[in-house]
Amino acid sequence: MAMVCLLDFEAYAEKYLPKIAWDFFAAGADECSTRDENILAYKRIRFRPRMLRDVSMLDTRTKILGTEISFPVGIAPTGFHQLACPDGEKSTARAAKAMGTCYIASTYSTCSLEEIAAAAPGGFRWFQLYIHRNRAVSRQLVQQAEALGFQGLVLTADLPYTGKRRNDVRNGFQLPPHMKLKNLEGAFEGNDRSEYGLPPNSLDPSVTWDDIYWLRSLTHLPIIIKGILTKEDAELAVRHGVQGIIVSNHGGRQLDGAPATVSEKMDHSSGTKSGNRGYCQCSR
């Protein structure tokens, strides 16, 4: 059957993926109220179409941080692509390049940054960072991403601890033994990989705005903060000299009860006074 829209891909994935993988991809935190509200908030949006405007020539191109993309949608960072496809993030990188848009590769990719870069030479890519307690690991990843030609550094700010995704807990989610978080191989001691393929508590929950200065000292890349949900934090981002923010509630996988990404309660103009732009992501 022809795949016509994203919902068709979603239904296909639910039918054919192992339950443990599907549940991971579909997860929301706790009661999933924010995850579900993300979709409902989009459905409530109504356009105000104007007529007789000569639409014979359409141009959907736009720019993010000065780089042109063919349409105003990029690919958000998501971990563990090999759970869905053996080629993993290499396929995602190729698809993004073919579509002329930006791919943000996750720290928790199942392909290495080198493999991702080699799969789609010249593609427009940013690297998404989670900061680990072992700062040397994070420093090395940032510097490797820059050396490989990634063009932006996205710091995910909304995961000091992992949200409680109930089905992952029920399923006892583990990465299959043949799958590795390639960017973090050799980064940790011991054999316990019980938290999403990582040792428990490997992320650093003590990260603050001051760490933006630390990141700045490591790289010349533009820094974008992902997971901003309030005007106050957007303003702090501007004050700390970052080049962009991504308005996001992490697909409702983190703080259940947070507003929908396109909620009318959000002030999407935050930060624009000093020329910074907020990027709004599509949920799921």
Ligand X SMILES: CCCCCCC(=O)C(=O)O
Can you give the binding site for ligand X, defined by CB under 6 A?
Answer: 79, 108, 159, 162, 195-196, 198, 203, 250, 253
Q: Is 251 near ligand FMN (CB under 6 A)? A: yes
Q: Which does 25 bind (CB under 5 to 8 A by kind): ligand FMN, ligand X, none?
A: ligand FMN
Query: d(Cα 234, Cα 211) in Å, to the nearest integer?
Result: 16
Residues in region 110-149 near ligand FMN by CB under 6 A: 128
Residues in region 143-162 near ligand FMN by CB under 6 A: 156
Binding region for ligand FMN (CB under 6 A) out of 6-14, 117-125, 173-181, 249-257? 249-257
Q: Which does 183 bind (CB under 5 to 8 A by kind): ligand X, ligand FMN, none?
A: none
Within 121-243, strands assigned E span 125-129, 153-156, 223-228
Among 193, 196, 226, 228, binds ligand FMN (CB under 6 A): 226
Query: d(Cα 108, Cα 161) in Å, to the nearest integer?
Result: 15
Of 75, 45, 2, 55, which is closest to residue 262 (Cα–Cα)? 45
In the block, which residue shows the tokens 């509200």?
Answer: 37
Provide the 10 A C-beta neighbour count for residue 20.
17
Catalytic residue, chosen from 81, 132, 178, 250, is 250
Query: d(Cα 248, Cα 258) in Å, to the nearest integer?
Result: 10
Minimum distance, C-beta of residue 56 to ligand FMN, in the bound complex (Å): 33
Q: Which does 162 bind (CB under 5 to 8 A by kind): ligand X, ligand FMN, none?
A: ligand X
DSSP secondary structure of 12-81? HHHHHS-HHHHHHHH--STT-HHHHHHHHHHHH-------SS--SS----EEETTEEESSS--B---S-G
Active site residues: 250
Binding residues (CB under 6 A) for ligand FMN: these are 25, 76-79, 106, 108, 128, 156, 226, 248-251, 253, 261, 281-284
